[in-house]
A and B are shown apart, each in its own frame.
Chain A
Amino acid sequence: MRDGFQVKLDFDSTRPIYMQIIDEVKRAVARNLLMPGGKLPSQRELAEAARVNPNTVQRAYREMEAMGLVETKRGEGTYIREDDGLLASLRGEMAQTAVDNFIRQVLALGLKEAEIVKLVTSRYKELQNGKRGEQDDAH
């Protein structure tokens, strides 16, 4: 499918399929795989590629339109809305979800706030150093 945008669905999840489709579009926008103003695949293309019922895709597109993520131009197709705030808010939303998950996991391991912050800081440094190391190796 165009622009490297692909939909991966998890049928073992309790999350409804149409919501998973919306999640995938949001993720693609946040990662610049779909640009603001960019065209989404047609509902039928997406249904065929993801092998889901066209009704399910239709519902996902309808909801995305209602939440202001996309707009449909009659006879042309569906486009990601050109909205400066959209990208920032999507990235913020996804970052928050990722951090929330992380906090829940380490809390379950019995860590305290100070320990978590310390751990994040030290791991961040380590990972950045590791990345730099990889780049050096490449040269």
Chain B
Amino acid sequence: MLIYAVKRLSVAILVAMTVSLITFSMIYLSGDPAMALAGESASQSDIENIRRVYGYDQPIMVQYFSWLGNALTGNLGHSHYLKTEVSEVIFTRLPVTMTLGACALTFALTLSIPLGVVAAMRPNTLIDRIALTIAVIGQALPSFWFALMMIILFGVTLRWLPITGSDSWMNFIMPSVALGYYITPAVMRLTRAGMLEVLSSDYIRTARAKGLRPSVVLFKHALRNAIIPVVSLAAVQFGFMLGGSIVIETIFAINGLGQLAWESILRADLPMMQAIVLVLSCFYIVLTFLADLLNAFLDPRIRVS
């Protein structure tokens, strides 16, 4: 188990390094950063000045390592636009996005896993069709459109829920549903397929031959095995959700990382964008690592060699 954890951890660190390199290189994707900062009417000497002040005149590897060294110590640079430390802004916005992500993931899993299980228990019946319909709709609806429709119905017409801000838990309902529904279909389908396969397996027949209660057969013997691939998928889907949160936070005017990313793109605030991408990537990497550990816990074939 320990060896496995160390292996997964070193992979995670390698991925994090790669991500940081790509994140850093982003600066140069949009052309000369000094020129972009200086603006259209800047003189050549202004540009040179800016280049020197921000260190863009250094060789790129030197820039990368000094940026990386700073990032590791928590110094993510200085915002070009907000005139404050990037890390300061990010740490005030991060909890909001994490709350949204956690709520959305919880919503998605509590909807998709039971639906998948029920659909697998009664394949090709009405209940299976209903579950499939819910999944297909989720796959077909763009999340921004779904969010806008919810705003019209629950926010404007029925006036049940607030449509902007992040002040109370009520504010998180619609964004969580919009964001979570986006990953529901994939998780539901995998749960259904996994359960169908497991339910027809020999060890489920053994469990029934032992006279175990149907609930024990289903939840202990079947779900434990069917859920293993779902854990990995959920971690990957959470990554998509972090991307999706940019759209959802913008729509619901939630002051999270997503909205900050959107604003920073508009402001060409490169250090801020770099930092946001880095932080979100690290979250994704940590989550994948945790999913690996959870899988090892669930599946002794990974854990015990």
**Is B truly associated with A?**
no
Query: B interface vs A, CB < 8 Å?
Result: none
